[in-house]
Amino acid sequence: MRPRTPSKRGLDLLQDPRQNKGTAFTAEERAALGLEGLLPPRVFTIEEQLGRVMDNFRAKPSDLERYVFMVALQDRNETLFYRAVVDHLREMLPIIYTPTVGEACARFGRMYRRPRGLYVSARDRGRIAALLRNWPEREVAVVVVTDGERILGLGDLGSYGMGIPIGKLALYTACGGIRPSHCLPVMLDVGTDNAALLADPLYTGLRQPRLRGEEYDDLVEEFITALHGAFPGVLIQFEDFATANALGLLARYRDRVCAFNDDIQGTAAVTLGALLVSGRVTGRRRGDERLLFVGAGAAATGIADLTVKALRRAGVEQGEAERRVWMFDVGGLLVRGRPGLPEARRRFAHEHPPIKGLEQAIRSLRPTALIGVTGQPHLFTEPVLQAMAEVTERPLVFALSNPTSRAECTAEQAYRGTGGRAVFSSGSPCAPVEIDGRRFAPSQTNNAYVFPGVGLGVTATGARRVTDEMLLAAAEALSEQADEATLRTGALLPPLERIREVSLRIALAVARVVIEAGLAGRGTPAELEPYLRDRMYRPDYRPYV
């Protein structure tokens, strides 16, 4: 590895998380860079530093304190932070992302110590391009942006939602190998309608009601235009917008810029990947599934749309594919003729008498899969789960809402309610369950399985758009990664320890679609795999002298 020259010396170097190695600076580096006397004399390897990190991490009394500890490490030594996450992903993922990030966002103002990311507010109208020039990095490849209105299942957290883009981009790096310097988290602060936050003396955001309508649209338009002026070709991920804005922004920008919505399309791809794998457990063919979504928002619509495309690819006629998807919301079963249905959901409202109760809907429709995307806990009651077991020999039960406190049911409830016959997956991690001498270790249907690989494939090829064909390719690539040993444990997705290799496989599939569709913005070599593998960031120290 060739030495590189850091841009700073002395204390300034130790206070720069991108370049700091802490006690791992060698004796030669300390002499050359003005560090002698500023560090304890012993030189540590990164593996020895990591041991210290994990000892301290595991000694913390709560997950929130572990989150705070990791934030402090990221602010101090970025390479060591990512080494800890990559080498201990199963332990780290629930801390730096769901479910702990939800609690961290709710307390963001009280935990605020050091700025991270970029805040664009409603007060910045007319000067967003100038504001973007304040960001110190010029080679930004991926932006994750939220307006904080629908943070996980917690609702409107205003500017406290910045924890989500920060967490997502940490996973882009740890799981997909996107360099940290190429990632930009953005909080689009348009106000909040959360009365408790507006009354909070430590609230960090604008103290005003949310912008709506034309004012909101104009601010987003200026932001997108300025972003592409500052970072041409950047991949934009919309994150945790309320349903109306999520669908509207995706429709407005998906064919204009390189953008996607993770709550809609990322959730769709990872869920479809799990659905595709499930056939190897249940013995059902792709075209045999009948899906009942509980919740009819952006996530449900995204999964349903991508599932229909997958069914079409399997040879199912369009109308029949749509009829295999049903939705149930607070008003009951979506049926044709229900007034006020948005266009996106209307094609999943079929001819059927109205039904108000979920258990009754299950007995009438006889679905093979029950998919919860509501953010409302405990909706999958014991009678509901028993009904699923009665109408389907091996029912799929996906409780996808985050964080754990918002899940429709737990793994234990799903298995016990179906006599151990459910094929279960969840949005947040679940502990293994033992029932009648059988041990189940279900997988987490986490978007982290998909979006980092999509990001790697898109940025490596300079893709001009993100298309449904790319997301279908991602879902199918994911479904190919689960081996028989994994399936025997009750999981549908590969172990988290393999996620960087999974991301590479997804990136390869996405890159091939980009190239075949003529959407590549730059030339790519014939041998894609070594090209992509070489681009993946590895958290190791580089020599300075």
Where in the sequence numbering do the catalytic residues fall? 97, 168
Taking alpha carbons only, the member of 217, 260, 179 closest to residue 465 is: 260
Q: How far apart are alpha carbons 390 and 384 in whole angstroms?
A: 10
Residue 362 structure tokens:
């299950």
Q: How far apart are alpha carbons 473 and 427 in whole angstroms?
A: 21
Place of tokens 């960087």: 500
Q: How far apart are alpha carbons 156 and 148 in whole angstroms?
A: 6
Residue type, 536: M
Helix, strand and coil in the chain, % to nearest 5: 50, 10, 40
Residue 535 structure tokens:
């681009």
Q: At what angle do helices 78-87 and 89-96 cross, to 10 degrees?
A: 120
Taking alpha carbons only, the member of 371, 375, 377, 420 closest to residue 396 is: 371
20, 266, 540 from 87: Cα distances, Å: 20, 24, 12
Compute, in degrees rounded to 10, the torsion defined by CA atoms 458, 463, 468, 473.
-50
Tell me the backbone φ, ψ of residue 145, rounded to 5 degrees.
Answer: -125, 140
Residue 192 structure tokens:
């909040």
19, 171, 420 from 408: Cα distances, Å: 44, 25, 18
